[in-house]
């Protein structure tokens, strides 16, 4: 890994907001969200300026969102949901059951929380087995994104190890954070994850989530991804930003 490579602190040139919009997982994971909130979310997901990549909601709203998007003809927009969330427990059977139910409801993408406490305790096999079992359920019909909770892992070596375990167990994406802890996405953690992706062939995707609210903040992660993995690597199939408030900033930048 390029441990001493600098993290970008400014953008070499402005990023087209459309590049970020098409990589956005428009997210609502609020405990008090209502069915009506989900309807508004789906309506916002397809704009005249282009669709987002996915909507990300709790499992109980997967079917509603899927039906909303299909009724509106927005077939390219994926429905993502979360499992083993937000605690990242080490109950593999629970994670598998939740993932199975989410897939049955019609989820196209599963964001499962890695059992980070088990990793801190030295139980690496728990993380591998949990991801592998969820990956076996998902593939080939759905993508599996693994949330590492990097703000809790803290140390670059631990973040790199969690990234490696998740990728080798079958993750399609590795993701920074749940957005439910004190420290969420950081550029430093993202660089470690991206360099691990590169070291393992560059095929796994990357998702930054947690505290990303502005176009410039999101663009920093896109620039970092392309610095590590090459120009053009960051496309919706390999690069996502998970946010809700970012959407409004992007539309403002696009004049929408």
Catalytic residue among 25, 108, 111, 129: 111
Note the pLDDT of residue 48: 81
Note the pLDDT of residue 4: 42
Note the pLDDT of residue 1: 39
Note the pLDDT of residue 256: 65
Decide if pLDDT at 194 tops 60. Answer: yes
- Percentage of residues in the chain having pLDDT higher than 90: 90
CA 120, chain centre distance (Å):
22
Separation between Cα atoms, residue 191 and residue 231, nearest integer Å: 16
- What's the mean pLDDT in 174-189? 97
Catalytic residue among 78, 145, 175, 249: 175
Report whether 125 contacts 162 (CB < 8 A): no
Query: What CATH number does the domain containing 74 carry?
Result: 3.20.20.70
Note the pLDDT of residue 2: 39
Catalytic site includes residue 111:
yes
What 41-45 contacts at long range (C-beta under 8 Å, 24+ apart), as own/partner pairs, is 41/65, 42/68, 42/69, 42/72, 42/74, 43/68, 43/72, 44/247, 45/69, 45/74, 45/77
Residue 205: inside a domain: yes
**Arithmetic mean of pLDDT over the chain:** 94
Nearest-5° angle of CA 164, CA 170, CA 175?
60
Decide if pLDDT at 185 tops 70. Answer: yes
Catalytic residue among 108, 129, 172, 207: 207
Decide if pLDDT at 160 tops 70. Answer: yes
Note the pLDDT of residue 153: 98
- What's the mean pLDDT in 49-75? 96
Residue 11: inside a domain: no
Note the pLDDT of residue 219: 97
Which range of residues forms the domain containing residue 52? Answer: 17-254
Residue 172: inside a domain: yes
Higher pLDDT, 15 or 131: 131
The string of DSSP letters for 109-121 reads EEEEEP-HHHHHT
Place of tokens 């550029």: 187
DSSP strands (E only) in the chain: 24-27, 46-47, 50-51, 54-57, 78-83, 109-113, 143-147, 173-175, 205-209, 239-243
- Percentage of residues in the chain having pLDDT higher than 70: 95
Catalytic site includes residue 207:
yes
Report whether 141 contacts 113 (CB < 8 A): no
> Could you tell me the two tokens for 56?
């990300």
Residue-wise pLDDT tens digits, 104-151: 999 999 999 999 999 999 999 999 999 999 999 999 999 999 999 999
Residue 12: inside a domain: no
Catalytic site includes residue 175:
yes
Total domain count, the chain = 1
47 falls in which pLDDT band (50, 70, 90)?
confident
Residue 190: inside a domain: yes
Residue 152: inside a domain: yes
Residue-wise pLDDT tens digits, 203-239: 999 999 999 999 999 999 999 999 999 999 999 999 9
Note the pLDDT of residue 7: 58
Separation between Cα atoms, residue 227 and residue 15, nearest integer Å: 14
Residue 5: inside a domain: no
Residue 1: inside a domain: no
Decide if pLDDT at 166 tops 90. Answer: yes
Cα dist. 22→25, 98, 138, 147, 247 in Å?
Answer: 9, 28, 23, 21, 11
Decide if pLDDT at 25 tops 90. Answer: yes
254 falls in which pLDDT band (50, 70, 90)?
confident
- Taking each helix axis from N to C end, the angle separating 245-254 and 215-229, rounded to the nearest 10 degrees, works out to 90
6 falls in which pLDDT band (50, 70, 90)?
low
């Amino acid at each position: 890994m390029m441990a001493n490579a600098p993290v970008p602190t400014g953008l070499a040139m402005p990023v087209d907001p459309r590049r970020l919009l098409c990589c956005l997982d428009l997210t609502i994971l609020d405990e008090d969200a209502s069915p009506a909130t989900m309807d508004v979310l789906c309506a916002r997901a397809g704009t005249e300026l282009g669709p987002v990549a996915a909507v990300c909601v709790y499992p109980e709203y997967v079917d509603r969102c899927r039906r909303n998007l299909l009724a509106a003809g927005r077939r390219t927009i994926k429905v993502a949901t979360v499992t083993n969330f937000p605690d990242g427990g080490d109950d593999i059977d629970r994670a598998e059951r939740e993932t199975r139910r989410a897939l049955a409801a019609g989820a196209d993408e599963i964001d499962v929380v890695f059992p980070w406490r088990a990793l801190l305790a030295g139980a690496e096999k728990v993380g591998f087995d949990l991801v592998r079992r969820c990956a076996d359920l998902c593939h080939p019909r759905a993508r599996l994104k693994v949330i590492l909770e990097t703000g809790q892992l803290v140390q670059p070596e631990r973040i790199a190890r969690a990234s490696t375990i998740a990728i080798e167990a079958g993750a399609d994406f590795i993701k920074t954070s749940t957005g439910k802890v004190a420290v969420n996405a950081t550029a430093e953690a993202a660089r470690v994850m991206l360099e691990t992706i590169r070291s393992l062939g560059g095929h796994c995707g990357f998702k930054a989530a947690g505290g990303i609210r502005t176009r410039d903040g999101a663009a920093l992660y896109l620039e970092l991804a392309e610095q590590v993995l090459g120009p053009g690597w960051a496309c919706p199939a390999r690069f996502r930003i998970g946010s809700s408030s970012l959407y409004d900033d992007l539309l403002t930048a696009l004049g929408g």
